[in-house]
Every structure is written in structure tokens, then in C-alpha cells.
Structure 1
Amino acid sequence: MVKAALRKWWVFGLFAVLLSVFFYKVWLKDLVPFPGDLLVGAYYPWLEYKWGYEVGVPIKNQLISDVFSQVYIWKDLAFESFKNGQWPLWNPYVYSGYPLLASFSGGVLYPLNMLLLLGVDGWSMMVIMQVLGSLAGMYWFLRLRKLERISAVIGAVAYAFSAAMIIRLEWNTAGQVMWWLAVNMALIEYYFEKSKRAAVLIPPVIFMLITAGHFQTMFYGLVLILGYTIFKWIGKERKSGVALIVAMGLGLLISSLQILPTMVMMSKSVRMAESAIARDNYGLLPWGNLITLWAPDFFGNPTTINYWGVINYNETIFYPSLIGLVALLWGLFNWRKIRKENRFFLIVACVAVFMAFDNPLGRLVYDLKVPFLSTGYAARVLVILVFACSVLIGAWLEKLKDMKRKEVYLPLVLFGLMALVSIGVTS
């Protein structure tokens, strides 16, 4: 009885250990995952005080100032508005004021903002929950796809601790979207493979995904959700997916409380007309940046103050993990042998790569001026690559024990050749 329980529940114990180790500074040192060093070490009036240091507080990462200059302030202001019985329509504290609800990155309608009732502890809980939720959501999705526990665990860890999560961890927005993306995908799988009752949960989960506060991650997530729904629906009875589509439509309808104000404000925003993003080539990566698929810090890292790549680290990181890349290469070489569901994610991964790099497909979003999407950097499609590769990791591990030596070694050999070519291109 005990052994059976251990076999079933060891996964959650492992997740708890991983989170405890990764966030040990929260538990043991009572620190908050918040860039306070940057706030007091680079901004007045705090900069004038040295806080016990000879020349001021050392700054760890200069790229995440939006956390305290925008996201935290907006969330806290919205929560205070709700506490005071007011609808959070307006932020009166900047210049003559500007819309608060319409500022998408604030995620002012996101239900988990209520954790800010606990102050900074609530903020820490939100940061941790986005990793935990992504672990649990991806694990559930992979298990529904009939993968063994160990394969599902490794795929879930690759997703929840991916570059897409870590580079924006303290923003508390993109990671929240990743959490609800995984849950949405699991619900779609559950709907088609187990019970149509799963449709009842779709509207609130869609609402959580949209209000979490990161527009491009949300947009790409919704595209993946819709694409996977259509893929699962093909070949089944016409009416089998109707309830799911209706549920998604209801989720979008509820989320219009956030979407419509944002669309109105963005249509009047200077971002729709400015050329700043064009000067950075829209964030489309040069082909030499392919090396970051397996060496994310090849061009340096802002925390070690040695970054020498294009644009900045956050907008060029494109790393699906080493095991994710191996699984992707394995899928490419075994197209005919893998399940059709895995082919879907293989196509998603390849499309994501082409959309991030400078080529006709990648430029299409910007040449066509796709509303709201063409104002963001191209490499943010990383979230879709990471999701697809995490699924492929599980599939690769399932097949590993039955592979011939050639099947095991070929992706590794190609991996090495690609690394050598990329080093030659960038040197």
C-alpha cells in the first residue's frame, strides 16, 4: 500500500524539492524575488544613499527595471482600487494620468493579484506559483498523452525552468501565462480523450491566461491552443468539438473586459507609429544567433556585464534547453516514425524558429503590420518553441530505450556540427 502510494505521489515530492532548492533564498533568507538592488542602486532618491556600500548598491541586472517601475506598481494600485470599492480605470500618479485597466502589462484583472493583500510575501507566492503551476500543468498534459511518469517529469521541468520562464520570472506576467497555457492544453487533451465536461473549466482558464499580463506570450499561447484544438478535432465527429469552441468563445467574451480597453488604447498609442523597433530589425535574429539554441550565453550575459550581442539579452534569448534541442533534432530525423501528435509539435517548433529569425516568414508579421503583434520583438515566440520542445522531450525519452545506436547518436553528431558551423559564422 505504501509502495503504491510512493510510486504515485513521488512526483509531487520531487516538485516540492525542486522549488525549495530553487527559491531557497525566499525560505531561508526571507528575500523577495524582486529587483530591489536595481531600484536603490540606480534610481534617485535612493541612489544618493550608499546603503552600507562604499560606492553604492551593486546592480545585478539592469534589464528588469520594469518590474518596479510598472508591473508591481500597476498591480498594487489596481488591488488598492478594488479594496476601496473602485473600478481600476485610471492611474492618476503619472503626468496628468493615463488608463490603468487598459495597460495590459499590469494585468489588473488577474485574480491572483489578491495575494498582494499579504504584501511582499504575496508577490513571492505569485512568483513561485507560476513555476509550480507550469510544472503541474505540463506534467498533467504529458501524462494525459500517456507518457511514463519519468518522461512527463523531465518534460515538465524543462518547461517550467526554461529560458522563457527564467528571463521574465520576476515580471510575474509571462510566467503566469505559461502556467495557464499548460493548463489549457491539458484541458483540451482531457476534453477529447476523457470527458467533455472539461469544457466547463475552459472559460475561467482562458480568462486567467489573458489577464495574466504579457501580451505576446498570451497571443502565441492562444494561437497554439486554437491550433491544437483544430488538430485534435480533425477526423472526429463534427459536433464533438462544438462545446469546446463555445467554451473558448465564452472565455474570450469574459476576457473582453481586458481586451477591448487594451485594443482601444493601443490603437492610439505611439507604439503603432514609432520606428524604434524597426531600428532593431523588429527583434528578428541574425542567423549567427542560432548558436544560442544550445549556448544561450555565447554572446555574454547582462549579469556578468559582458554581453556583446545584438539588441539585448532578454529580447534575443532563444534557448529550448539542450535536451529540448536534441529531442527536436531527433523528431526531424524520425518524422515518419513519430506519432502524429508529436509531428504537430515538431511543426510548431520549426515555425517558431523561423518566426524568430530574419527570413521572409519572420518578416511577414512586420511587413503585414499584424495589429498589436508587430509592435513586439520577434524572439518572444520562444514560449511556443519551449512548449513544443518540452512535449518532444517526453516523446524522445519514451522511445530512447528502443532506439538503435544510429538513432541515438545522429542528433548528437548533428548538434556538434551545428555548433562548429555557428562558431565559424559568429567568429
Structure 2
Amino acid sequence: MAGANRKAMKRYLFPLLLGLIVVVFFAKTIFQGLLPIPADTIVGLYHPFRDAVFQEYPNGIPYKNFLITDPVRQQYPWRELAVSIMKQGELPLWNPYQFAGTPLLGNLQSAALYPLNILYWLMPFQMTWTVLVILQPLLALLFMYLYLKEMKLFKLPATFGAVIFAFSGFFVAWLEWNTILHVILWLPLLLLALEKLRVKLSLLWSTIFIFALSSSFLAGHLQVFFYVSLVLMAYLVTILYRSKSKGKLVLLLSALCSLFAVVTSLQWIQFVKFYLQSAREIDQVLWQKEGWFIPAKHLVQFFAPDFFGNPATLNYWGVWNYGEFIGYVGIAGFVFALLAIIYRRDRKTFFYIGLLIGSILFATNNVIAQLPFRMGLPLIGTSQPTRLLAIVDFSLAVLAALGLDYFLRRQLNIKKISTVLVLFLSLFIALWIYTDTGSVELAVAKRNLILPTGLFIITVILLLSAIASRNKKIFLFTVYCLLFTVVFDLFRFGWKFTPFVASDYLFPSTKTIEFLQEQEGVFRIMAADRRILPSNFSTFYRLQDVGGYDPLYLKNYGELVSAWEKNKPDASLLEFNRILSPQNYESKLADLLNVKYILSLDELSSSKLVEVFSEGQTKVYENIEVYPRVFLVSSVLKVNSKQEAINKIFEEGLDLGTQAVVYEDLKLANTPLVRSENVKLLSYSPNSVVAETVTEEEHLLVLSDVYYPEWSVFVDGVSKDIIEVDYALRGVVVPSGKHKVEFKIRI
């Protein structure tokens, strides 16, 4: 019995160790209730939250890392809205709270259909979000461990490689986004499934493969999924040579990929529709700017992650931005990866060496890496290649495990080890000499070299001690110490960068927000200062905003905002503008787009604005000239092009409240509206807008929501043509009499 217990304990020791490692990393969450999300930036950086008084910080709340605001500006609000809509029994097709309306399901980063979202039905949203953050390294550890064991590695190297993968620089940099890592974490499970299917075709592993592939795609980041797909294709080519039934395997995988396309069709069809209407192609010029690729000098961060400082300590002096260039895998991890690269001579090592070289080649600035951007390839030609660090770190983690496995098999002598150690020693000596110049920036680099150098020395001592030892227990003890060293190294690095914050900081309510939420009717807001309620925050509070922040936004609306901000009929988009935050409240476009409230930190002097509320520095003004969300016009002006449309809109004297600009000949009589003719908004929800009209003649009804081809309109249940009005808005011709008009978005 005792022997059986020992055997069971041995079997589960390493999986339990993986779980313990995750518990330690998230100790502040598990034992103190702090959330792994940068919510401290909400209350520390932006108004009206800074206007609210928090007793423990009367002078303002400090924030840990100003660099990572995207999770609270994008991923968290989008997912919360999507889940909320789905809980009401609808698909989350549309987000009316940013960009004056924009696709939600078509926005992949909302990850609305991610299979693990089922947890949101079992727990409160905030708790589930936290659980999903924790699951990222946990699942990455588990899947990588199982994959490395399938490669016939010892348990200790498998654990070593899993830890490096799950807490690498890429994982730490993107941990709190809760999307990107959910894409990459399925990669080792997919490779494991391919290995199993290579040996034996089975329903179980076919199901696992299709589930993992679908989950990776639906997790919310197309670029990283593209990289995962490339790795899978390359891996498939290599295993076909070893497969006993190549034809059957190819046939099975073709069928599985076809099934994947069907299973995920709801998501990718919505995405393609959105992409084709978006302004994404304007990002193509960015590749020429410094920081689009990993700068050569930033490769030093593989050895000293904070050589250029760290945004969390406010001393970063490198190329912008830190999070895009960090691929640290720990000193010991890199040492063993290099040992595998130099000395292992087997098929799996060669594959990952090739994968590593290829990833670095396309992530750094060179002629080959520039090709996709020079050619203007869709999707990939607008994606920053630094995200290839996901594959770089994955490759290094596998190579580190292979290196340690090679070491455990006693196939490395002191001479071989010394070659690698001398390379590292030479590098560190060169870095110390380089930093010894006295400049302020290099003083930061010098200070941040101390710990990597110390860890290198510890790694050297442990390696040499293990080689010199003839006692198996002492040998294994030193190897376990190496594992502890890499855990300490990566955890220290991870904790330094990653915020853990009080739950009170996550989208708290303030008097300003409560005032806006209490106002009756449907209306939009805008901020005259980008420090107030930044783009997308309004989504969480269900306040409709004309601004927004997203790599994908509708091109027609982006052009309208561009002209709005320039205050002239020039709708050309800026070269890089993922954040639209119009501030020209004097423009008639603000009135047209139903902007009723303007938030400002300064006193605003305008005949159309009346101050109605204030809290601290934040002031709320009401626009008394705002148009209703839905209204009737007495006349329409037909134009033949978009430029003519924007020219007409900016004509002085054109009243957009009574006249509309259209591209079609609607054959309307253009009769003035009489008092009895009116429109009433009956209901407004993300996927549907219902109004009631009473008219004596045919008139054009204008809905100041953004035009998108997937919307349809019905008058008394009968489908009608939806009209593109005023460059980027929606409209429909309503007949005389009393009618019910319903706008619905299609799947």
C-alpha cells in the first residue's frame, strides 16, 4: 500500500507543482482579493474618477503601470457588454456605446464566442474575468507539460519548459488583456493532438484538436492565431514524414479544418464583414516607424529585461513600447536553450531552432521582414510583427526543456557547458563596460544589470556543481535549484510589471456618471478633454459616446469624424488613428449625432452650452441645440459622390435638422413638415431600434446611428430599403399615416 501511495504521489507531484506555482504567482488575488487588471489606471489617470475622494488616498490614487490601460479600455468593457447581451438571449451583434455605434461580434477582440466564456454563466462577471486571467498560465503550464512529456522528456525538463512558457516575457506583457494568451496557450495542446493523431487516428484527439483550434481562434486575437496556424502547418509537414498513414492523416486533418471553418463561421463571417467596411488599411504606413519591428538593440532584453528601464518604475528610456519588445525567458532558461541549440542533434531540436530563427527574422527590421508591409498584404500587412515574440518564447521554452533534458541524461561535460557560459560571461562583461559611461539612462541600465548578472552567477554555480557531483541526490537537488531559480527570476520580473488592484477601483461609480445615467431619453456624450472618461469607458456605464478606441472602426464614420475635427469638408483619414475622440462641440455634426452632454475640465463659453453639473474639476454641459436621435426631415439633397456629400454637409446655412444629404434619388416631394407630423422613439437596444411615425406625406426618417450594411429596416413589418444619410448615418422613407419603424441588425 505504501509503495502504491508513493507511486501515485510521484505521478502527480509535477502536475501539483504546476498548480502550486500558479497559486504562488497569483497569491495577491487568491489570498488578498486583489484583481489582476490595471484598474488603478482608471482611478489614477482619468476624470471624473480623480475627482472622487478615496479616503486612503486624499491626494489621488497611485497606479502601478501606465502602459497597460488597454484591458480596461477595450477587452473588459467589450466582453462585459457581449456577455450581458447574450445573457438576455441575443447575439452581441452591435455596440451602440462607442463610435456612435459599431459592430461588436465582428470585433474579434470582444471574444464573445470563446468557449471558456461559459464560466460567466456560473459566476459573477468580475470573478470570472479573474479566473480566466489565472487560467492563462495554468492551462499553458498544463498543455506545455503534456506536450513535452509526449516528446519523451523527463518530468523535470517538462516542468522547466512549461514554467518558462507560461511566465515568459510575452505572457507577462499580455497577461491582463485576457485575450492574446488565450490564443497562444492552445498551441502545445494542438501540437500534442497532432502527435497523437500521427500515431493513431482517434475520435478523442480529433475532438480535442477541433476544440483547441476553435478556442484559439475565438479567444480574440487574429494576428496571434495566424502565427499559431503557421506553426501548425510547419509542424504538420514534419510529422507527415513520420506518419505511417500519411494519406489518412491528411484527409482527417482536412476534414477537421473544414469542420473548424463551419464551427467558427458565425464569428469569422461577422469579422470579414466588419473588416471590409473598416479603415484598417490606413495602418500600413506604420511599418516604417521605429518600434514597428523589434529594434536590434532591444534584443538585449532577452538577457536583461529592464536594461532600458521599466514603465512600472517610470524609468523606461527605450523605444516605445516596452510591452512589444519583451521576450525574456529567464537567465537559466536562455542558458539551457542555447545548450540545446549548440549541442542537440535531433529532429525536434532542429524544428524549434528553425522556428526560433524564422520568428526572430520576421520580428526584427530587415529586408525579408519588410516584404508583407511593402506588398500591403491584407491583415498581416497591418499587424505589428513584434507579436511574433509569442512564437519566439514558445520556441525558447521548448528548447530550454530539451537542453535540460539533455543535461539530465549526462550528455554534457564541463567543456561543453563552459563554451555556453563563456558566451554569456562575455556578453555580461560587454554590457557592464557599455553601461559604465555615467549617463542617466545607462545608470538605469547598469542598476538593472545587477540582478541578471547575479542570477547568471547562481546558474553557473549550480550547473558546475551538478556536473561535478557524482551523487544522484545532490545532482537532482542542484537541478531542482535551477528550476527554483528560473521560477524566482520570472516571478520577480512578472510581479514588477503586473498590477494587482483593489476591486473598488474597477469602474467605480461617481456623481458625474450617476448624473448622466439618470438623464432621460437616448443621447450621446463627448469629452472636450481626453483625460475625461476616455474612449470605451462609456461602454461599461452604458453611456453612448461619439468616440471610441479600436484597431477596427467603420471607415465611413472615421471619415466623418475626420472632417468634423478639421471643421472642413476634408474626410481623409489620418495615417494612424485607432482612437477617435472628437472634441469640436461647436460643430453642427455634434448636434446631428445627438451629443447632448459635453464633459470638460475647463470653463466652456458657447451659446449652445449650459453648465448643468460639476464634480471636482469635471464639468458637464448640456447642448441645447442637440437633435433627437431619430427625426423627420422636410427635404433631401441628392449628391453623386462622398466628396459632394461632405461638401454639402459643411455648406453654411444647411440645416441638417430639416435637410438630409443622400446618394439616391428618393423621389420625395420635399414638403415642409407640419406640426402634427412627428416621430417617437419607442425602444432602443443594441440590436434593435423601434420608432413610431405620424406623417401626412412621405418623408425621410433619419436615425443618427452609423450606417452599416448589415442593418435592415421594416415599416409595419415590411422590409424597406435602408438609406445612407448625411455621409454615414441611417434613414428610411416612411409613408403617410401612422407607422411602426424597426431597425434590426442581421446575422
Cα pair 2:284 2:376 within 8 Å, conserved: no
Among 163, 166, 169, which residue is 2:169 paired with? 163
Among 371, 374, 381, which residue is 1:364 paired with? 371
TM-score by length of 2: 0.55
Alpha-carbon deviation of 1:423? 6.6
Cα pair 1:345 1:388 within 8 Å, conserved: yes
2:277 corresponds to 1:271: no
The one-character-per-residue Cα deviations of 1:352-374 (angstroms, maximum 9, x if unpaired) are 11212111222223222232122
Cα pair 1:148 1:398 within 8 Å, conserved: yes
2:54 corresponds to 1:51: yes
Q: Distance in 2 between matches of 1:159 and 1:110?
A: 22
Pick the structure with more strand per residue: 2
Task: Please name the residue that 2:361 is paired with.
Answer: 354
The one-character-per-residue Cα deviations of 1:297-334 (angstroms, maximum 9, x if unpaired) are 11111100001111111112132332332233223323
The one-character-per-residue Cα deviations of 1:55-111 (angstroms, maximum 9, x if unpaired) are 211011112211111111111111111111111110011142000011111111112
Among 74, 92, 96, which residue is 2:100 paired with? 96
Alpha-carbon deviation of 1:419? 4.2
The one-character-per-residue Cα deviations of 1:251-296 (angstroms, maximum 9, x if unpaired) are 1332232223223323333231146633634621222112111111
The letter for the 2-side match of 1:66 is D
- Name the CA shift for 1:409/1:218 in 2 (closer, same or farther; >3 Å): same
Residue range with higher mean Cα deviation, 324-333 or 48-57: 324-333
- Name the CA shift for 1:267/1:297 in 2 (closer, same or farther; >3 Å): farther
Alpha-carbon deviation of 1:235? 4.8
Cα pair 1:202 1:248 within 8 Å, conserved: no
Residue range with higher mean Cα deviation, 270-279 or 308-317: 270-279
Residue range with higher mean Cα deviation, 243-252 or 383-392: 243-252
Task: Please name the residue that 2:348 is paired with.
Answer: 341
Unaligned runs of 5+ in 2: 436-441, 443-747
Residue range with higher mean Cα deviation, 70-79 or 185-194: 185-194
Q: Distance in 2 between matches of 1:189 and 1:88?
A: 37
Residue range with higher mean Cα deviation, 164-173 or 133-142: 164-173
2:251 corresponds to 1:245: no
Alpha-carbon deviation of 1:415? 2.4
SS at structure 1 position matched to 2:61: coil
**% identical aligned pairs:** 31
Across the aligned residues of Structure 1 and Structure 2, the Cα RMSD in angstroms comes to 2.0
The one-character-per-residue Cα deviations of 1:115-172 (angstroms, maximum 9, x if unpaired) are 2342211111111111111010000100111111111011111111111111111111
Residue range with higher mean Cα deviation, 165-174 or 353-362: 353-362
2:231 corresponds to 1:224: yes
Q: Distance in 2 between matches of 1:423 and 1:265?
A: 51
Task: Please name the residue that 1:305 is paired with.
Answer: 314
Pick the structure with more helix per residue: 1
The letter for the 2-side match of 1:262 is F
The one-character-per-residue Cα deviations of 1:174-219 (angstroms, maximum 9, x if unpaired) are 1211221221111112211355431232222111000101222211
The one-character-per-residue Cα deviations of 1:15-44 (angstroms, maximum 9, x if unpaired) are 221111111111211121121111111122
The letter for the 2-side match of 1:28 is F
Q: How does 1:5-44 map to 2 (within 5 A)?
A: 5-44=8-47
Q: Distance in 2 between matches of 1:270 and 1:421?
A: 46
Task: Please name the residue that 1:178 is paired with.
Answer: 184
Residue range with higher mean Cα deviation, 274-283 or 178-187: 274-283
SS at structure 1 position matched to 2:264: helix
Residue range with higher mean Cα deviation, 241-250 or 297-306: 241-250
Task: Please name the residue that 1:328 is paired with.
Answer: 337
Unaligned runs of 5+ in 1: none
Q: Distance in 1 between matches of 2:58 and 2:364?
A: 44
Q: How does 1:119-268 map to 2 (within 5 A)?
A: 119-197=125-203, 198-236=205-243, 237-242=245-250, 243-268=252-277
- Name the CA shift for 1:267/1:331 in 2 (closer, same or farther; >3 Å): farther
Q: Distance in 1 between matches of 2:126 and 2:418?
A: 48
The letter for the 2-side match of 1:174 is I
SS at structure 1 position matched to 2:383: coil
SS at structure 2 position matched to 1:374: helix
Cα pair 1:79 1:114 within 8 Å, conserved: no
Q: Distance in 2 between matches of 1:32 and 1:261?
A: 32
Q: Distance in 2 between matches of 1:282 and 1:375?
A: 14
TM-score by length of 1: 0.94
Number of aligned positions between the proteins: 425
The letter for the 2-side match of 1:45 is P
